[in-house]
Amino acid sequence: MSVSLKPLSEQVIVITGASSGIGLATARLAAEAGARVVLVSRNEAALAQIERELDGGGQVMHVVADVGEREAIERVAQQTIERFGGFDTWINNAGASVWGRLDQVPDEDHYRVMQTNFWGTHYGSTVALAHLRQRGGAILNVGSVESETALPFHASYSASKHAVKALTDVLRVEVQQAGLPVSVSLIRPSGTDTLFLDHSKNYLDSAPSLPPPVYAPEVVARAILHAAEHPQRDVYIGNANLMTRATQLFPHLMDWARRTVLYQSLQSGRPDDNREGSLHNTNVGAGGSGRASGQYPGLVLSRSLYTKAAQHPVATTAAVVLGAMTVLSLLARKRS
């Protein structure tokens, strides 16, 4: 069965992890496009503030929920159905992180990361599918460049994103085999300037840092919302596809790069004023919530040419052909 997705202006979109970062950027752009939006996170104060900011006549609602609990996700779905009559796109974006050597990080921290990232995506995907199997729509799971390229000091996060990739691949095949009108996509951002580092728990000697290139959260948000309208299998942001292919084709070279270049670049040398982050609570100190962008000290890119080309292949091909024809025409004039 072919999958036909509605325009954003006709959709109800559920977004987990919507109190900051990619989730918040996606919620803002979705609301601007006329979608009805359901904001989900653990942070009641931030969600209430964002709802007031975005609401245009009852088009936005929020539900406080821990995605690592199935009952909480079922409650999100039920309240959405009661308010809006259903939903069309479910975005599993909520994430948690801890930085430190594998043997340095306590089991309870590793467990919490997996509970949020993997089980949160599992619960969200299965609860969403139960509703969408008849209605049709999209399930968008936010993975990472780390779905393939594991980073030092990030064992449980990388493991969780590998697991999210596997879950998404299996779900897609099963949905397609059953002929359900549901699109299943894996979103793979590379480094993104959000509050991700502020929210992470940290056991390193200094604050962690993202390796460049780093992209604005709106770059990821635009790619997510494009996939909410146009079915896609994988959505790579920035250099995520390059890193994925390099890891698959040159594993030993990538091991060398990770134990030398990345091992050092992930440690900023700057003090970390909030080592606990929000892994086990919603208190993220000075980092706060309710902001899409973080405080990355380097260059933040506002667009990804690769992502735009991959998501708009016809327009990109036309532009390339037109450009080539223009160049050839100018060369012909010079020769004549």
Which residues are catalytic, by number? 157
Measured CA to CA, the distance from residue 111 to residue 217 in angstroms comes to: 27
Measured CA to CA, the distance from residue 156 to residue 105 in angstroms comes to: 9
Q: Residue 304's closest CA among 211, 191, 227, 210?
A: 191
Side-chain-side CA neighbours of 194 within 13 Å: the count stands at: 30
Strand partners, 39: 15, 62
Structure tokens given for 29: 């752009």
Q: Residue 17's closest CA among 95, 122, 119?
A: 95
Measured CA to CA, the distance from residue 195 to residue 231 in angstroms comes to: 29
Q: Residue 293's closest CA among 195, 200, 189?
A: 195
Distance between start and end Cα atoms, the chain: 55
